[in-house]
Amino acid sequence: MVRYILGRLLSAIPTLFLIITISFFLMRVAPGGPFDLERPLEAKVMENLNKMYNLDKSLWEQYIIYMKNVLQGDFGPSFFFRDFSINELFAQSLPISIQLGLSALTLALIVGGIMGVSAAIKQNRGVDYAVMTAATLGVTIPNFVVAPCLTLFLGVYLGWLPVGGWGGGAFVNVILPVVTLALPQIAVIARLTRGSMIEALRSNHVRTARAYGLSGYTIIVVHALRGAILPVVSYMGPAAAALLTGSVVIETIFGIPGIGRYFVQGALNRDYTLVMGTVVVVACFVIIFNLIVDVLYAALDPRVRFD
Amino acid sequence: MIKALRTSALAAALIAATSLNAAAEVVYHRGNTADPETLDQHKTSTTYEANILRDLYEGLVAYSAQGKIIPGVAESWNVSEDGKVYTFKLREDAKWSNGDPVVAGDFVYSLRRILMPETGAKYAGVLYPIQNAEAINQGKLGTEELGVKAADDRTLEITLHSPTPYFLDLLGHQTGLPVHPATVEAHGSDFVKPENIVTNGPFVLKSFVPNDTIVAQKNEHYHDAENVKIDKVIFYPTEDRGAALRRFQAGELHTNNDAPVEQVPFMRENLGNQFRVAPYLGTYYYAFNHESDAVGDADVRQALSMVIDREFLADEIWGSTMVPAYSFVPEGIGNYGDPAYADWMDMDLIDREDKAIEILESKGYSESNPLQIEIRYNTSENHKNTAVAVADMWKPLGVEVTLLNTDTKTHYAHLRDRGDFDIARAGWIGDYSDPQNFLFLVESYNSGFNYARYNKPDYDALMQKAAQTVDLEERAVVLKEAETMFMRDLPFLPLMYYGSLSLVSDKVSGFEDNLMNIHPSRWVSIAE
Amino acid sequence: MSVTSAEQSSAPVMGRSLWDDARDRLLANKAAVASMVVLTVVTLLSIFGPMLSPHQFDTVYRDYVKVPASLESYPRLDQIEPGFESVAKRARMKVESYAMVDDKITATVTSRRSISEKATRYFDRSDLFEGAVISNISADKKSATVTADVQRMHFYFGTDANGRDMMTRTLIAGRVSLTIGLLATFVAITIGLLYGTTSGYFGGKVDLIMMRVVDILYSLPFIFFVIMLVVFFGRNFVLMFIAVGAVEWLDMARIVRGQTLTIKRQEYVQAAEAMGVENTGILKRHVIPNTLGPVVVYMTLLVPKVILLESFLSFLGLGVQEPMTSWGVLISEGAKNLQGAFWMLFFPALFLTSTLFALNFIGDGLRDALDPKDR
């Protein structure tokens, strides 16, 4: 297993290299540059700015320079937030996104898991239908609708929770964004758990366990859930990467300084370094989480081998 | 869960209450359209950056609550006979936030810095009326050639290239704000960091967290500090206007300098006077590409302009937050009288429609040979609704319209690169209150803004003549002549004059509506 | 869903294929059948509704901007007289007397200019009136009688910011959204299924490389990919599928691969291998059918995701273009009008939600019907 993990980590290097390279050139294909404004610049000023940010060099040279800096851990200055370097921006916002994402993930796993298991046990009964209806609503209603509705009721009309702002991560400020972020995930996890739990409850080893007269709790948690959780685990890989790298919609609506907004701000403002920064962060999360998922897989299901 | 929630909410309320009583600090929660690109005044270009910078710094002149130019660091000034030399007398008690006095040399340093090509100032062009400024900015002359001299610590002399009646308005722009030379020399571009920054305005920067807040604390060294009622201003970037409205409703923001146009009726009904609309110095227009076959003909452009029901656009699509525009230069601008209105302005819409149909028929357009036009716009709900409505208004003429939207960068890059298009949406907000700031857009050598590629030597000649005219009344006549030509040739199709929207809590006073939409925090006070 | 009854009805009948069984079981599932009916109705409404509706999807009614959804007809009573007066004012006439009987208005008007019969255009042009007639023009042409019928219109779902009928727009939006929702999902699932099973089944180096490719595609900046498509190929419906398809199969591939890793160690797969069944045979017969559970669940999640993603593509200029519209676009417009014009959100959301509910039940039914262990 250790060898496998090491191998995977090694394979991350060429993967990251390819991701950075492709993104770097893909990004430059889009029209408009970081200094194109509604109000165009003096030619000379533009020239100076381009020189300052090495944009006057050939694309190939820029790529080499960028790669060199990245290897030294320097992601360059931001074009859009000109008072900050990419490293500063991420040092400040990444922890916030991770905190939000992890909270949402935990909430989703617990609530979604419980909902899914109870629905599976009471298949085709009231509980099941209620859970599935709630789950369908959860995935159907987009977060840009849920978030305003929640803030309107709980924030504006009832005044229980703040409508926006991060407030340094105060508990009351975190509730609504976490709930909104978790809702669709709860729905997905509930559905996935229910589906595979139903299968697991019918499988031979659970039947055997029943025949031995084990208690319902032991059967469900120890025997059925262990197998049933597998599809959830493989879903969690990409989902966790997506959650931890923030959500544009949630961050914009709630006014949270996470990294999710940088994806869109970076791209729409042609902030090349910011975009590259987000790409690298996402890539790292994707690679790490997929590795974790594969390791978990092998741990949960002894039949799975990575040879 | 609910109980826990309630107690924590209660605790939060308690903490808020105690902190308020203990410090009795007046905090102004101010919504501001977006985060600044930078707090280096010389590199900024937008109005929402200006809102912050005007609180941090004070230029030679400043703005009153009514948006009028008032003395700032300069307590008085006089202008030479020929209108070319301005001599400013600096106030004695002007200080930087570290206690240093503000001296004339600081302004010399600052004005040279913004014009140095190495600074990469996006808006340096605003200062081009100063002697040699343009040449310096283009790297043709050294900065010491700039027409700005410090006679002594309290006397600053600025020489202009030609008489510029709106020069004081120019100095009110954020590009005219000074930097603290010693700090800039010591920290380079990091002088804007809260730990380094030294400012001379009513407030001084405490922190800047992108996408979160910018906190500014009252500057005790400010010369008018005793009249500043606010202890702390917190700026929130409110890109999502709907969310800003909800935060305002919940009392989390005292003011916001924008509001969701989609919800105007709701706001009028529920917020009363807290929702404000004021005329704004700007025009929303469509640029006609003169190189396009479809709209290359002035009569066709005129016909298209005639049938637009501008009242519908302004009142229904934009919820009366805009004003129908029948001229390019907005009403109420300084150094001008009434703008040159379209000559058919008072005709009824249906009669205008008849006339327009006649024109198009005479140009050979018919049902079998319809005029086909593409409207390009940058993605936004209201630009879309406007384009849809305009397309509908052109239907009776038999014009077939297709709409095309792209993101803002792509849109403007396309216009700048002289891409192919028929009609493109654009808007212009005046930097200073003078018609020249609008009419210069379509001068033939203005390659940046002349999206229409309008090229008429007579027009250029009129603009040149206006630039040489010192007498304001005479100059206004020349400019009006130019605008009349503009309205006849119609390089741009003016649709609406902008209005500024703001949300202002009942508790706030000193936030006064004005044409410039300028509201320094210095004049604001908050009743609890 | 009555799986138990399904099991009874499909009691062992020899010589039936897996698919026959599945179909019968699906048809015995009441929720699934009802959902299929709902889906068919929504589809038919999207196709034929706009043709049958009294309004065109792109007609702008300037007098009816953002009117609320209502079963009653417009104009409202208190809207008629002021409306009439303002039209008269435009025609430069002053209303001296006004009477309305059974939606027929009779009014005497005066004007400082001479009145001509052509002035009826002003009334007919308004969305409020039709069939205007000017009669009894006095000798000096300064006064006359105007009669006009009130034009009755219904906006059951209200109107949007341009005064267009939301019902027609919601229906026509279904065309784009259903097409892209179902087709792009189908494409994404097919690719993901094939890719995932192959990767998981062969394992080792193949798996490593195939999954790294997924990682790479997953990390590329999507917005630039879309902008690049727009810039180089212009706007085009097929491109939308490419853009959506290019990203949405990735999650599917990962999930399927995970399932495959477990399945390939099952006794029946090993038995088939031992019997010398070819790889494609094993994949088709054993692996793919056994991954369907999570796939179906994931499908029902993918459809709304794709439909909403389309509105983001529209934002970047790749999706549908005005005056055409889609549910995703309508919903994001509606969300902005939440306070003040909730009907702009409610009806498109209702259509989207009911479609997704139907898809969910069909999905569950399919899963139950295809479940090999259930036979």
Write out pLDDT tens, residues A120-163. Answer: 888 777 888 888 888 888 877 888 888 888 888 888 888 888 88
Is residue A112 a contact partner of residue A193, using CB atoms and an 8 Å limit? yes
pLDDT digits (tens, 9 = 90+) for B375-415: 999 888 889 999 999 999 998 888 999 998 888 878 888 88
Q: Is A110 on the interface with B (CB under 8 A)?
A: no
Please check whether residue B265 lies inside any domain of the structure.
no
pLDDT digits (tens, 9 = 90+) for B256-281: 988 998 888 889 989 989 999 998 99
* Statement to judge: residues C177 and C319 lie in one domain: yes
Q: Helices A272-300 & C237-263, crossing angle to 10 degrees?
A: 30
Position A218 scores a pLDDT of 74
Domain with B221, as residue range(s), is: 2-254+505-526
**CATH homologous superfamily, domain A93-300:** MetI-like (1.10.3720.10)
B15, pLDDT greater than 50: no
CB contact under 8 A, A230 and C228: no
Instruction: State which amino acid sits at residue B370.
Output: P
Q: Is C224 on the interface with A (CB under 8 A)?
A: yes
* Statement to judge: residues B379 and B414 lie in one domain: yes
* Statement to judge: residues C96 and C169 lie in one domain: no
Q: Is A258 on the interface with C (CB under 8 A)?
A: no
Position C9 scores a pLDDT of 45
DSSP string, C189-226: HHHHHHHHHHHHHH-HHHHHHHHHHHHHHHHS-HHHHH
Radius of gyration of chain A (CA): 24
Is residue A147 a contact partner of residue A179, using CB atoms and an 8 Å limit? no
Domain total for chain C? Answer: 2
Closest CA to B158 of B68, B63, B76, B80: B80
* Statement to judge: residues B214 and B354 lie in one domain: no
Radius of gyration of chain B (CA): 25
pTM for this entry: 0.85
Name the residue facing A44 among B40, B117, B449 (closest C-beta): B117
CATH of the domain at C48: 1.10.3720.10
Closest CA to A51 of A27, A35, A75: A35
* Statement to judge: residues B242 and B329 lie in one domain: no
CB contact under 8 A, C341 and B387: no
Q: Helices A86-121 & A171-202, crossing angle to 10 degrees?
A: 40
CB count within 10 Å of CB C91 equals 23
CB count within 10 Å of CB A141 equals 20
Position B74 scores a pLDDT of 94
Q: Is A17 on the interface with C (CB under 8 A)?
A: no
Name the residue facing C258 among A145, A297, A303 (closest C-beta): A297
Q: Which residue has the tokens 């953002």?
A: C66
Domain with C124, as residue range(s), is: 77-150
- Token pair, residue B78, equals 């006089």
Q: What CA–CA distance (Å, rounded) separates A236 from A230?
A: 10
Which residue numbers of B have CB closer than 8 Å to C's CBs? 242, 245, 260, 262-263, 265-266, 309, 312, 316-317, 348-350, 379, 381, 384-385, 387-389, 391-392, 402-407, 410
Q: What CA–CA distance (Å, rounded) separates B426 from B411?
A: 10
- DSSP tag of A222: I
> In this predicted structure, which of A201-215, B249-263, C126-140, C361-375 has the lowest mean pLDDT?
C361-375
Position C4 scores a pLDDT of 43
DSSP string, A19-54: HHHHHHHHHHHSS--TT--SSPPPHHHHHHHHHHTT
B1, pLDDT greater than 80: no
For chain B, positions 95-154, list CB contacts with chain A under 8 A.
117-125, 137-139
Note the Cα A79 to chain centre separation in Å. 25
Domain total for chain B? Answer: 2
CB contact under 8 A, C301 and A188: yes
Radius of gyration of chain C (CA): 30
Q: Is C225 on the interface with A (CB under 8 A)?
A: yes
- Token pair, residue B508, equals 């706030």
Last residue of a domain, one of C106, C130, C150: C150
Q: What CA–CA distance (Å, rounded) separates A159 from B40?
A: 38
pLDDT band at B14 (very low <50, low <70, confident <90, very high): very low
Largest CA distance in chain A: 84
Cross-strand partners of C98: C107
Average of pLDDT values for C328-343?
86
* Statement to judge: residues B54 and B119 lie in one domain: yes
Position A157 scores a pLDDT of 87
B29, pLDDT greater than 70: yes
CB contact under 8 A, A156 and B246: yes
Residues of B in contact with A148 (CB under 8 A): 242-243, 246
Q: Helices B408-416 & C222-233, crossing angle to 10 degrees?
A: 40
Q: How far is C363 from chain A (nearest CA, A)?
A: 11
pLDDT band at C15 (very low <50, low <70, confident <90, very high): low
Please check whether residue B260 lies inside any domain of the structure.
no
Name the percent of chain C lying above pLDDT 70: 94
C133-142 own/partner pairs: CB under 8 Å, 24+ apart: C140/C114, C141/C114, C141/C115, C141/C116, C142/C110, C142/C111, C142/C112, C142/C114, C142/C115
* Statement to judge: residues B194 and B292 lie in one domain: no
CATH of the domain at B133: 3.40.190.10
pLDDT band at B126 (very low <50, low <70, confident <90, very high): confident
CB contact under 8 A, B121 and A45: yes
* Statement to judge: residues B482 and B348 lie in one domain: yes
- Token pair, residue B64, equals 């009153």
Phi-psi region of C98 (alpha: psi -120 to 50; beta: other; left: phi over 0): beta
Map out the domains of chain A as residue ranges: 2-71, 93-300
CB contact under 8 A, A29 and C224: yes
Please check whether residue C95 lies inside any domain of the structure.
yes
* Statement to judge: residues C196 and C262 lie in one domain: yes
Please check whether residue B262 lies inside any domain of the structure.
no
> In this predicted structure, which of A114-128, A276-290, A293-307 has the lowest mean pLDDT?
A293-307
Alpha helices in B395-456 (DSSP H): 408-416, 436-439
pLDDT band at B483 (very low <50, low <70, confident <90, very high): very high
Residues of A in contact with C262 (CB under 8 A): 230, 297, 301, 303-304
C196, pLDDT greater than 80: yes
Name the residue facing A42 among B12, B124, B209 (closest C-beta): B124
Residues of C in contact with B385 (CB under 8 A): 161-162
Mean residue pLDDT of chain A comes to 84
For chain A, positions 70-109, list CB contacts with chain B under 8 A.
80-84, 89, 92-93
Please indicate whether residue C215 or residue B30 has the higher confidence score (pLDDT): B30
B8, pLDDT greater than 80: no
Q: Distance from first CA to last CA of chain C, Å, rounded? A: 16
DSSP string, B439-465: HGGG-TT-TTT-TT----HHHHHHHHH
CB contact under 8 A, B404 and C90: no
Strand spans (E) along B91-154: 148-152
Residues of A in contact with B12 (CB under 8 A): 170, 172
pLDDT band at A103 (very low <50, low <70, confident <90, very high): very high
Average of pLDDT values for B422-426?
93
Q: How many CA atoms lie within 13 A of B36 on its CB side?
A: 25
Residue of A nearest to C210 (CA): A15
Residue of B nearest to A172 (CA): B9
Cα torsion angle, C41, C43, C48, C50, sign: positive
Name the residue facing C224 among A8, A30, A231 (closest C-beta): A30
CATH of the domain at B407: 3.10.105.10
Q: Which residue has the tokens 């800047």?
A: B208
Size of interface B-C (CB pairs under 8 A): 79
Average of pLDDT values for C255-267?
83
Closest CA to B421 of B429, B408, B411, B434: B411
* Statement to judge: residues C260 and C326 lie in one domain: yes
Name the residue facing B266 among C60, C125, C340 (closest C-beta): C340
Mean residue pLDDT of chain C comes to 81
* Statement to judge: residues C218 and C94 lie in one domain: no
Position B213 scores a pLDDT of 92
Position B63 scores a pLDDT of 93
Position B11 scores a pLDDT of 45
- Token pair, residue A20, equals 């950075």
* Statement to judge: residues B10 and B76 lie in one domain: yes
Last residue of a domain, one of C97, C129, C150: C150
Average of pLDDT values for B76-85?
91
Is residue A143 a contact partner of residue A247, using CB atoms and an 8 Å limit? yes
Name the percent of chain B lying above pLDDT 90: 58
Is residue B356 a contact partner of residue B527, using CB atoms and an 8 Å limit? no
Is residue B487 a contact partner of residue B285, using CB atoms and an 8 Å limit? no
Question: Which helix (H) or strand (E) is B208 found in, with range?
Answer: strand B203-209
Ramachandran angles phi, psi of B327, nearest 5°:
-145, 170
Predicted ipTM of the assembly: 0.85
* Statement to judge: residues B228 and B303 lie in one domain: no
Q: Which residue has the tokens 């605003």?
A: B126
- DSSP tag of B176: G
Name the percent of chain B lying above pLDDT 70: 96
DSSP string, C114-164: PP-GGGHHHHHHSSSEEEEEEE---TTSSEEEEEEEEPPEE-TT-B-TTS-
Q: Is B187 on the interface with A (CB under 8 A)?
A: no
* Statement to judge: residues B305 and B329 lie in one domain: yes
Phi-psi region of B131 (alpha: psi -120 to 50; beta: other; left: phi over 0): beta
Largest CA distance in chain C: 107
Residues of A in contact with C208 (CB under 8 A): 7-8, 11
Cross-strand partners of B324: B496
pLDDT band at C61 (very low <50, low <70, confident <90, very high): confident
CB contact under 8 A, A290 and C211: yes
* Statement to judge: residues C163 and C50 lie in one domain: yes
Q: What CA–CA distance (Å, rounded) separates A106 from A86?
A: 29
Residue of B nearest to A265 (CA): B211
Instruction: State which amino acid sits at residue C229.
Output: L
Average of pLDDT values for B71-94?
92
CB contact under 8 A, B410 and C338: no
For chain B, positions 4-63, list CB contacts with chain A under 8 A.
5-6, 8-9, 12, 35, 37-40, 43, 45
Query: What residues contact B19, with CB distance under 8 A and at least 6 apart?
Result: none
Q: What CA–CA distance (Å, rounded) separates B153 from A255?
A: 45
Q: Is B284 on the interface with A (CB under 8 A)?
A: no
CB contact under 8 A, A26 and C257: no
Q: What CA–CA distance (Å, rounded) separates A196 from A193?
A: 5
Is residue B243 a contact partner of residue B77, using CB atoms and an 8 Å limit? no
Please indicate whether residue A263 or residue B371 has the higher confidence score (pLDDT): B371
Q: Is C228 helix (H, G, I), strand (E, B) or coil?
A: helix
Q: Is B414 on the interface with A (CB under 8 A)?
A: yes
pLDDT digits (tens, 9 = 90+) for A13-45: 999 999 999 989 888 887 777 877 666 677 777
Question: Which helix (H) or strand (E) is B215 found in, with range?
Answer: strand B213-218
* Interface mutation vs chain C, best among A149, A191, A201, most C CBs within 10 Å: A191
Phi-psi region of A289 (alpha: psi -120 to 50; beta: other; left: phi over 0): alpha
Q: Distance from first CA to last CA of chain B, Å, rounded? A: 33
CB contact under 8 A, A32 and B412: yes
Q: What CA–CA distance (Å, rounded) separates A216 from A206?
A: 10
Q: What CA–CA distance (Å, rounded) separates B301 from B287?
A: 10
Q: Which residue has the tokens 């649709």?
A: B495
CATH of the domain at C97: 3.30.1360
